[in-house]
Structures are given as structure tokens and as C-alpha cells.
Structure 1
Amino acid sequence: MKVLLVYAHPEPKSLNGSLKDFAVKRLQGAGHVVQVSDLYAMQWKASLDAHDSIERQASERFYPSRESKHAFENGLQSADIVREQEKLMWADAVILQFPLWWFSMPAILKGWVERVYAYGLAYGVGEHSDARWGERYGEGKFAGKRAMLVVTTGGWESHYSARGINGPMDDVLFPIQHGVLYYPGFDVLPPFVVYRTSRIDEANYAAVRDALGKRLDDLWTTQPIPFRQQNGGAYAIPELTLRDDLAPERVGFAAHVE
């Protein structure tokens, strides 16, 4: 299988750097082909702007979605964006690895998503009608591919528990797992999360490494998070609200998981 690991940490000698190197070796040792997009090492440009198009549309104002669509359809995207899109289409599985900074991914990784997820590739695809509302949330260009987050955080696991002060980790990561990954079609696996990173020393690093190794070994057999498909009958279209008879006792993020 082919794996793309998109990595966002500025220090190669960090815990993240060590886990990234381990993940590559583990996957390659199992016979998989791996590509790594090390965003800091690549000096990835994080900001989406008019320079992402080689030749802009004739307009004084910059409309991000319109420009993205025009550039994608006409082969006018900047070369760095095209290279990352080619990696995405090549991969059978995508791993996003990052430290949890201020309840989300680092800005450089968010910028990778914003620039690489072009209109016509990750969004703006498919029929919009009274029966369907585009190919998204379970459908899309990345359908059939798998994705997983590898996340580190300095907080305790209890801080991210069901009643923890930071909110449940599933809720914290929902915009990334459901929005960034499931929206364009990925089958999203449960995340691999490392807590209390400042307490990871040589003695307990081995346990973290081995747990990650097991998750990587099971990359193609782990059951994905059972998010509800948008066009599968669970949602009213075009309102895109969950049917009243489905999980009536649930609201918020949890309602969108079967």
C-alpha cells in the first residue's frame, strides 16, 4: 500500500520527530511505500492568496473559491500545490501528524489543507439537487482512501475526557476528522493520541512507540469512525439536518456518528 504522511512539527529532535521517523520505518518494514510531506522542512507557504494561481482571472477582487476552481480546472495552480495534490491522489492512506496547538492543528498544516484542497478536488464536486447535495461526507475524490490523525498534546488524558475541562478529545478533533477528512471522502480511523508529552521519557517512550506501531500495523483492518453519510438517507436535503427519528436524544457532534 501507499502511505502519505503529512508532518507538522518544527523540531526534528522532538517527540513528534522521533515518532515520525519510527512510523516511516515501521510502514516501510511492512512493505508499504511511504512519502513524507515535512511541512516545516519544506518551508511550506501557509497562506492561501492570489499567488496560488499562475494566472488569475480578470478580476480586481480576489475570490478564493472562484480562483481555486479556475486554477484547478485550467492547470494554473502553483507547482507546490500540484505536487501535494499528486501525493494525495497517489496515496491509499493519509496520516496527518501534528502537536495539538490551541485546540487545533498548527497553522502550517491548516494552510496545507486550505491550499491543497482545491475547488473541484476536495470540494465543489458532484450534483446538487433535491436528492443529493454534492459528493461529500462519505463521498468525493478521496473515497476509498483511509486517513488517521497522530496527535500529541501536553494535556492530561483526563483533561480531554467526557467531563474534562478541555472537552472530549473526539469533540476537539471533530472539525478535522469529520470536516477536513470525512468531508472529501476519506474513511477516518480513530486517532492515535499521545498525552502529557512533557512526561514522555526514555523509559515510557517505548510503550508509546509500540502502541503507535500496533496502530500502523492495523491501518488497513481498523474499523473507521462510523460517521453518517450525507447522501445515504440520514439527512434531509437540501436542509442537511439529521432526520428527527435518528438519535433524537443527541445533539451536536455526537449526533453525526452512528
Structure 2
Amino acid sequence: MASAAKKVLIVYAHQSPGSFNSAAKDVAVEVLTAQGHTVKVSDLYAMKFNASATAEDIIGEIKQTESFSYPKETKTAWENGKLSADITEEQCKLSEADILIFQFPMYWFGLPAILKGWIDRVLTPGYAHTKEKRFSQGVFKDKKAVLSFTTGSQESMFSADGINGDMNVTLWPIQNGILHYCGFQVLPPQIFWAPALLPQEASAAMLQAWRGRLDALMGEAPLCFTPMDCFDVEKGFQLKKEVQERQAEKKVGLTVGIHMGMPVPPNNQMKAGVCYLEIVNKKP
């Protein structure tokens, strides 16, 4: 084996066992298990996972019933071991995992409700993130995560000049605002472009490509995000002056979201790249 055995958690969100997403999930289980990795699957629909984040997620008394705050109450509940059993079970799986794979169909340029509910409920404040532990200094900085999903539209429609807009922009809130926020090393996404519109041979080729990628997935480099130490805490987490000055010499911004009014770096959310921290440590 090229790498030591890892623990993998696949969070799977599709209703049909005959779907392309199901086939992609099965390929991941097969290939990674054959490599000696331990693979667990959270099949959210089969589990009837509750997507709604409510006070019922807390066992026992609510601290502030009249001004209920889900983040505050669940943080306290996590600290006291008072979260509902379904949340605790998923947190145990995630804590054990070295790599997290989300397998889902893209709905309305985002996540299916049941998967968004998993994120809302399982990534509890305190457990998954704190003010001190987030982004490049996040709780899960030693874990990797990857989005593997299908689209309903062809690739050209998600281009910088396509009707759906740049897929890099679509992915920024998920990959930066959720995964990177919690500290994950985010691997480039595995995008299956409109498999429902393709002949069987073409969709089979997509699965074969996924199979090939899985062979080396554990050794992949993550996407580039701007490290926390590039921001000035005392100035509201704005880019430090020296970082801005150095980046002003470049032809593009830092990332899709942190672009400083400059052109967005191409494929920043779809292909691995050199992290800016490595650049600023080098001589011009």
C-alpha cells in the first residue's frame, strides 16, 4: 500500500439505490476498502436523518427558552453531553475519520436539505469550531474532506461565461464557509457533470475516472485558502497591509472570495494550488 490505512466517513444523500450517486458511493466503498481503509457510510435517507435543527436536539432543560439561540444552546449541550443521540453518533463517526466524503446531487446550486441538516446539526459550535479554532487553525485541520456530486446541467453551463455562472463561485460558500471554516483540508471536488444526460457508456466512464482518482486520493494536495495569520485581528480580520501590498503585484486575487477587487484566480475552488503562505515566505 502507498499509504497507511485510514478511516473514511462517507456522508451519502440520495433517495435511490439505483442512482448514479449510489453507484459513485459504492465505487468509493469498494476501492477504499480494497486499499485497506476502514469505510463507514452515513446513508442519510435510509437513516431518516432529521434535517431540522430545533430545540429537540437538546436533552433536558433549555437555558434560554424565551430567546432561544440554537448555536449557544447546542454548544452548551455538547459541553455537558446533552445532545440528542443521532447527533452524538454522527459526531463520533466524524471524530474517528481521517477523511470525509460527501456524496450527493447538487440541488439549487447547493446541498440537498437533508445534507444541509447534517451540517447544521452535527457541526456543533464547540465541537466543530470555535472563535479561536477556525479556518486554517480549525478543529479539523488534520482531516481531509471532499465534495463528490452530480449536476443537472452540463459543464459548459457552469463556466465563467455560462448561464449558471462559474462553478468556482458556486462552491466557495460550501468549501470555504463550511469545510475550511471547520479547518478541513479541502480536496478538489469530484464533479460528475450531468450524468443523467449522457449515454450509459459515458456515465460509466465517469465512474471509472472516479475509481482511478480514489486510488491516490489520500495523497492529494488540498485547495488553496488564505491562512488566518494573513489577517489582522485588531482590524476586523482584514488582510494585513503587507499581504495586500504583495498581492497587489499579482494579476489575480487571492481566492474566489478574497479577491481584493482583482480578477478571480481561475479554478481556485476546483484544482489544488500553492498556498499563499508559501509564496510570501519566498523572495520576490
TM value normalised by structure 2: 0.83
Match of 1:253 in 2: 257
1:3·1:33 contact (CA, 8 Å) conserved in 2? yes
Q: How far off is 1:63 after superposition?
A: 1.0
- Distance in 1 (CA, whole Å) between partners of 2:61 and 2:130 is 19
Alignment-mate amino acid for residue 199 of structure 1: L
Match among 84, 108, 112 for residue 118 of structure 2: 112
- For 1:145-164, list aligned pairs within 5 A: 145-164=143-162
2:50 is the counterpart of 1:45: yes
Q: Give CA-to-partner distance per residue, 1:84-108, whole Å, 9 cap, x none.
A: 0001110000001111110100010
- Distance in 2 (CA, whole Å) between partners of 1:242 and 1:217 is 38
1:84·1:116 contact (CA, 8 Å) conserved in 2? yes
Give secondary structure in 2 for the equivalent of 1:255. coil
Q: Give CA-to-partner distance per residue, 1:121-146, whole Å, 9 cap, x none.
A: 11225xxxxxxxx2111122211111
Identity %: 42
Give secondary structure in 1 for the equivalent of 2:204. helix
Q: Give CA-to-partner distance per residue, 1:197-216, whole Å, 9 cap, x none.
A: 22233211231111111221
Alignment-mate amino acid for residue 250 of structure 1: G
- Distance in 2 (CA, whole Å) between partners of 1:83 and 1:246 is 46
Q: How far off is 1:218 after superposition?
A: 1.8
Q: How far off is 1:23 after superposition?
A: 1.2
Match among 95, 98, 106 for residue 92 of structure 1: 98
Match of 1:241 in 2: 238
Give the total of aligned pairs: 248
User: Which structure 1 residue ranges, 5 or more long, are not aligned?
Assistant: 126-133
Q: 1:14 to 1:57 in 2, by over 3 A?
A: same
Alignment-mate amino acid for residue 30 of structure 2: K
Q: How far off is 1:254 after superposition?
A: 5.3
TM value normalised by structure 1: 0.91
1:57·1:70 contact (CA, 8 Å) conserved in 2? no
Alignment-mate amino acid for residue 207 of structure 1: A
Match of 1:76 in 2: 82
Give secondary structure in 2 for the equivalent of 1:34. strand
Q: 1:68 to 1:108 in 2, by over 3 A?
A: same
Q: How far off is 1:57 after superposition?
A: 2.7
Q: How far off is 1:223 after superposition?
A: 1.1
- Distance in 2 (CA, whole Å) between partners of 1:174 and 1:246 is 23
Give secondary structure in 1 for the equivalent of 2:169. helix
RMSD: 1.7
- Distance in 2 (CA, whole Å) between partners of 1:49 and 1:88 is 21
Give secondary structure in 1 for the equivalent of 2:40. strand
Alignment-mate amino acid for residue 237 of structure 2: L
Match among 206, 221, 224 for residue 222 of structure 2: 224
Give secondary structure in 2 for the equivalent of 1:151. strand
Q: Give CA-to-partner distance per residue, 1:129-172, whole Å, 9 cap, x none.
A: xxxxx211112221111110001001111111122221211110
- Distance in 1 (CA, whole Å) between partners of 2:96 and 2:199 is 36
- Distance in 1 (CA, whole Å) between partners of 2:194 and 2:83 is 40
2:8 is the counterpart of 1:3: yes
- For 1:184-203, list aligned pairs within 5 A: 184-203=182-201
Alignment-mate amino acid for residue 28 of structure 2: A
1:247·1:255 contact (CA, 8 Å) conserved in 2? no
Give secondary structure in 2 for the equivalent of 1:98. strand
Deviates more, 1:187-196 or 1:209-218: 209-218
- Distance in 2 (CA, whole Å) between partners of 1:95 and 1:190 is 11
User: Which structure 2 residue ranges, 5 or more long, are not aligned?
Assistant: 1-5, 261-267, 269-275, 277-284
Alignment-mate amino acid for residue 237 of structure 1: V
- Distance in 2 (CA, whole Å) between partners of 1:240 and 1:218 is 36
Alignment-mate amino acid for residue 70 of structure 2: P
Match among 54, 58, 61 for residue 63 of structure 2: 58
